[in-house]
């Protein structure tokens, strides 16, 4: 993997991540395919809506169908029929947020599966080995993500994360997979600074920021981004994990982030909510029963080109699966189109104006429905 | 609508139905889009898998979202974003099979909605008016479908169906919509013959055969098809309603049927079953967990070109919606590819050989799983 930085505009950056499965122009938003599928969306539809990178979850795939099985079937690209770049997380976040019970020590984490209660253990070394089996283009160091506000907990988690980062690098074999390190530190500026300096000092191919968008305020997230990105070397890509919404993307790109992933667009779609640059629509609302307009007049997705709000509402009221597919396509396209527009604005040196217009429009139209 | 008969081979026929929304080469299989969506499949995917005609259900659309609403939104084509030909049934079959209660008299049927218990009434005149509002290319006369074996019930249902057929023709305004009549008569050859003669004597644009595949044996269905098609004028298209499986398609095409529709391929897909020319696979079976082959090596659908049985099984075990989409695409393509191959065999005068090979292969490989 190689990252080329093409242009900066303030702190914002436009670049390209070159991988064995294709180039990823940045800033880029990656749809999440937790169980080796972006829920309700085919790989053809993902290509069509402009996805250049997708994420899959190591925790889920390790438990089911199993990493060795995926490897025997040709690796994650072949398994899910996606020819573009893939990123896998390390499983750490899900062990802490999903597993039935967990016990952490200096070596790793013992946990019980949320599926069947079976006992498992993840360590930096096994998390890397599993990700080697899955075969994603970008893989992540095993880290500990803690709630944002307790200083003692965050100090401990950061310190484990740093020790594990070094062990992940030692366990990683050279090859086509690029390993990213993860910065932690909660909402504490000094911890974030220390973590960013330490992770940046190691030979990771890219640097991720974890533990944000987990309960802290927007102002705190923005402050932490500024502290961290100030410490990061420009030549390596920066990935803000688990973010975000359209408004979060704009703010984070302005602060120098290159990569994003989030379940928000697909999860909202399954809950009847459509994202637009002007806010969110609850499409199940009776007000849309006779509305012949697309979700977003300005959108170029297949859903907006072919279907009305009235039709989408009908599908939702009738509990038709197609609703989730069509709105997921729209919501993903909205995030990806936004990342394309942000990139273009950076390349043309007009990001500040673009972001100001986005914020003004968003404040004016923001729907109170969701 | 115009029907051109291009070639016959025994009783079998190859032709083309010309409609305002495009040509339908026959024999043709129509996917069912009950609530204005073929479940889990987009209109782009329907075009891609070769669908040339789709069916929608008047009963469902009348109750929800309402025929006037569909009309206000530009008619069914615009409402569901399908640019090809559409056929609507008359609502009769669903009133008898789905409604909470029903009371039939010479004038029509009073029933309560299966959705909310509300009271409604369908008559030949209102069924035609509703179908005018929906705006399908092919619409159906309002008929009474009864269980196959009671002679008295079938005599009465046939006689009502005939009286209603005339009233439907009187209520139908000329225009781009083609009205088809429906032959009834259960498993009684003399009733089927009488019904076919009567319906054929009226100026319907096409003739449908109702009340088959509703509990009678295959041998009875085949016998009734032979009785009916012997009475039908060659110049008009023949539509076997609610059929079928791959094996039913072959048998019915050999007996002179041009059009089919059935929920089987999409319903089976949602129940984890894949259709193949060699029988059916229950993809949730553990035997497929490591199977790298596509559902059907000979299939040209996007699912078979991109995904393994192992992946599809994983999606099913993980309860991912994408499984229903991918297997629906495959199952629909299997029926449509079969209808394309049957057409080609007729055009080349080799249907008997094609059907014999199909039957031999099917008998040999038929999976006992479903």
Q: What is the pLDDT of residues A13-40, one digit of tens each?
A: 999 999 999 999 999 999 999 999 999 9
Give the three-class secondary structure for B188.
Answer: coil
- pLDDT single digits (tens) A166-192: 999 999 997 899 999 999 999 999 999
Partner B contacted by A72 (CB < 8 A): yes
The count of CB pairs under 8 A between chains A and B is 107
- pLDDT single digits (tens) B228-237: 999 999 999 9
The alpha carbon of A230 is separated from its chain's Cα centroid by a whole number of angstroms, namely 21
Instruction: Write the CA distances from B129 to A149, B120, B123, integer angstroms.
Output: 65, 15, 10
Q: What percent of chain B has pLDDT over 70?
A: 98
Reported as type and span, the H/E element at residue B120 is strand B119-122
Say what angle helices A309-317 and A322-347 make with each other, to 10 degrees.
140
Closest-CA residue of chain B to A82 = B306
Partner A contacted by B163 (CB < 8 A): no
Reported as type and span, the H/E element at residue A229 is helix A218-231
Q: What percent of chain A has pLDDT over 90?
A: 91
Instruction: Reply yes or no on whether the pLDDT at B369 is more than 50.
Output: no
pLDDT band at A364 (very low <50, low <70, confident <90, very high): low
With vertex at residue B13, the alpha carbon angle to CA B10 and CA B14, rounded to the nearest 5 degrees, is: 135
Closest-CA residue of chain A to B40 = A322
**Count of alpha carbons within 13 angstroms of residue A113, beta-carbon side:** 14
B69 with A310: Cβ contact below 8 A: yes
Partner B contacted by A321 (CB < 8 A): yes
What average pLDDT is seen over chain A?
Answer: 95
Q: Which residues of chain A are within 8 Å of residue B79 when distances are taken between CB atoms?
A: 308, 310-311, 314
- pLDDT single digits (tens) A107-135: 999 999 999 999 999 999 999 999 999 99
> Token pair for residue A20?
């064995």
Q: So what's the ipTM on this one?
A: 0.96
Going from the N-terminus, what domains does chain A have, and what CATH number goes with each? 2-263 (3.20.20.105), 269-364 (no CATH)
A79 with B308: Cβ contact below 8 A: yes
The backbone torsions φ and ψ at residue A181, rounded to the nearest 5 degrees and listed phi first, read: -95, 165
Read off the pLDDT of each residue in B184-207 and give the average, rounded to a whole number: 98
Q: Nearest CA of chain A to the CA of B41: how many Å? A: 7
Whole-angstrom Cα distance, residue B142 to residue B136? 15
Q: Nearest CA of chain B to the CA of A38: how many Å? A: 8
Least CB-CB distance to B79: which of A36, A64, A311?
A311
Closest-CA residue of chain A to B81 = A306
With tokens 């996917």, the residue in question is B31
Selected residue of A34, A36, A37, A116 to mutate for chain B interface (largest B Cβ count, 10 A): A37
Residue B261 is a catalytic residue: yes
Give the three-class secondary structure for A77.
Answer: helix
Selected residue of B70, B73, B263 to mutate for chain A interface (largest A Cβ count, 10 A): B73
Read off the pLDDT of each residue in A283-290 and give the average, rounded to a whole number: 97
Q: Are B307 and A81 in contact (CB under 8 A)?
A: yes
Instruction: Write the CA distances from B229 to B183, B197, B201, integer angstroms.
Output: 10, 10, 14
Catalytic residue, candidates B89, B137, B258, B296: B89
Q: What percent of chain B has pLDDT over 90?
A: 91
Reported as type and span, the H/E element at residue B139 is strand B138-140
Q: Which residues of chain B are within 8 Å of residue A73 when distances are taken between CB atoms?
A: 290, 292, 308, 310-311
- pLDDT single digits (tens) B209-227: 999 999 999 999 999 999 9
Catalytic residue, candidates B9, B137, B248, B261: B261
Whole-angstrom Cα distance, residue B232 to residue B196? 7
Instruction: Write the CA distances from A315 to A309, A328, B235, B354, integer angstroms.
Output: 10, 14, 39, 41
Say what angle helices A189-201 and A218-231 make with each other, to 10 degrees.
40
A39 with B317: Cβ contact below 8 A: no
Q: B81-99 burial, b for 16+ CB within 10 Å, e for fewer?
A: bbebbbbbbbbbbbbbebb
> Token pair for residue B249?
């398609």
Q: Which residues are registered as beta bridge partners of A88?
A: A56, A139
A325 with B321: Cβ contact below 8 A: yes
Q: Which residues of chain B are within 8 Å of residue A324 when distances are taken between CB atoms?
A: 321
Residue B89 is a catalytic residue: yes
Q: Are B24 and B55 in contact (CB under 8 A)?
A: no
Closest-CA residue of chain B to A286 = B65
> Token pair for residue A173?
């074999």
With tokens 């035997």, the residue in question is B287
Among candidates B51, B30, B32, B23, which has minimal Cα distance to B267? Answer: B32
Q: Are B53 and B275 in contact (CB under 8 A)?
A: no
What pLDDT does A366 receive? Answer: 58
Whole-angstrom Cα distance, residue B199 to residue B184? 10
Q: Are B245 and B11 in contact (CB under 8 A)?
A: no
Instruction: Write the CA distances from A310 to A89, A266, B80, B132, B181, integer angstroms.
Output: 38, 20, 10, 20, 32
Whole-angstrom Cα distance, residue B66 to residue A244? 38
- Please enumerate in sequence order all residues whose Cβ is within 8 A of that of A319, keeping only pairs 6 or more positions apart, or say none: none
Least CB-CB distance to B314: which of A36, A74, A324?
A36
What pLDDT does B113 receive? Answer: 93
Give the three-class secondary structure for A365.
Answer: helix
Partner A contacted by B324 (CB < 8 A): yes
Q: Are B36 and B262 in contact (CB under 8 A)?
A: no
Read off the pLDDT of each residue in A281-304 and give the average, rounded to a whole number: 97
- CA A258, A264, A266, A268 dihedral sign is negative
B310 with A64: Cβ contact below 8 A: no
Is B79 buried (19+), middle (13-18) or exposed (0-12) by CB count in 10 A? buried
Partner B contacted by A292 (CB < 8 A): yes
Whole-angstrom Cα distance, residue B364 to residue B98? 37
Q: Nearest CA of chain A to the CA of B75: how many Å? A: 11
> Token pair for residue B164?
């209603």
Q: Which residues of chain B are within 8 Å of residue A266 when distances are taken between CB atoms?
A: none
The string of DSSP codes covering B218-245 is HHHHHHHHHHHHTTS-TTS-EEETT---
Q: Are A62 and A130 in contact (CB under 8 A)?
A: yes
- Please enumerate in sequence order all residues whose Cβ is within 8 A of that of A226, keeping only pairs 6 or more positions apart, or say none: A255
Partner A contacted by B328 (CB < 8 A): no
- pLDDT single digits (tens) A188-240: 999 999 999 999 999 999 999 999 999 999 999 999 999 999 999 999 999 99
The verdict on pTM exceeding 0.95 is yes
Q: Which residues are registered as beta bridge partners of B238?
A: B207
What average pLDDT is seen over chain B?
Answer: 95
Sheet holding A259-262, edge to edge: A28-31, A259-262, A238-240, A206-209, A178-183, A138-140, A86-88, A54-56
Whole-angstrom Cα distance, residue A17 to residue A8? 15
Instruction: Write the CA distances from A146 to A160, A257, A266, B289, integer angstroms.
Output: 11, 22, 25, 36
């Amino acid at each position: 993997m190689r990252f080329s930085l093409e242009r900066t505009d303030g702190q914002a950056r436009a670049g390209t991540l070159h991988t064995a499965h294709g180039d990823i122009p940045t800033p880029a938003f990656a749809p999440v395919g937790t169980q080796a599928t972006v829920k309700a969306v085919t790989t053809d539809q993902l290509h069509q809506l402009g996805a250049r990178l997708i994420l899959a979850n190591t925790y889920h795939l390790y438990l089911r169908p199993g990493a060795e099985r995926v490897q025997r079937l040709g690796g994650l690209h072949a398994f899910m029929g996606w020819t573009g770049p893939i990123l896998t997380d390390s499983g750490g976040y899900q062990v802490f947020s999903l597993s039935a019970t967990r016990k952490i020590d200096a070596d790793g984490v013992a946990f019980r599966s949320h599926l069947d209660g079976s006992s498992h253990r993840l360590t930096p070394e096994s998390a890397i080995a599993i990700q080697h089996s899955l075969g994603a283009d970008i893989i992540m160091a095993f880290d500990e993500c803690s709630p944002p506000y307790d200083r003692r907990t965050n100090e401990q988690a950061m310190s484990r994360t740093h020790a594990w980062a070094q062990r992940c690098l030692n366990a990683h074999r050279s090859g086509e997979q690029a390993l990213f390190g993860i910065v932690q530190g909660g909402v504490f500026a000094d911890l974030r600074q220390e973590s960013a300096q330490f992770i940046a000092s190691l030979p990771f191919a890219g640097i991720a920021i974890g533990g944000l968008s987990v309960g802290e305020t927007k102002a705190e997230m923005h402050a932490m981004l500024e502290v961290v990105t100030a410490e990061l070397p420009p030549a390596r890509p920066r990935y803000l994990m688990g973010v975000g919404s359209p408004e979060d993307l704009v703010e984070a790109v302005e602060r120098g982030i290159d990569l994003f992933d989030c379940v928000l667009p697909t999860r909202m779609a399954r809950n009847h909510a459509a994202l637009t640059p002007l806010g969110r629509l609850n499409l199940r609302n009776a007000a849309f029963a006779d509305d012949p307009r697309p979700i977003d007049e300005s959108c170029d997705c297949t859903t907006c080109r072919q279907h009305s709000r009235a039709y989408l509402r009908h599908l939702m009221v009738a509990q038709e699966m197609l609703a989730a597919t069509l709105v997921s396509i729209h919501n993903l396209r909205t995030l990806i189109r936004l990342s394309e527009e942000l990139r273009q604005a950076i390349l043309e040196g007009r990001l500040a104006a673009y972001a100001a217009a986005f914020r003004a429009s968003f404040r004016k139209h923001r729907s109170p429905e969701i």
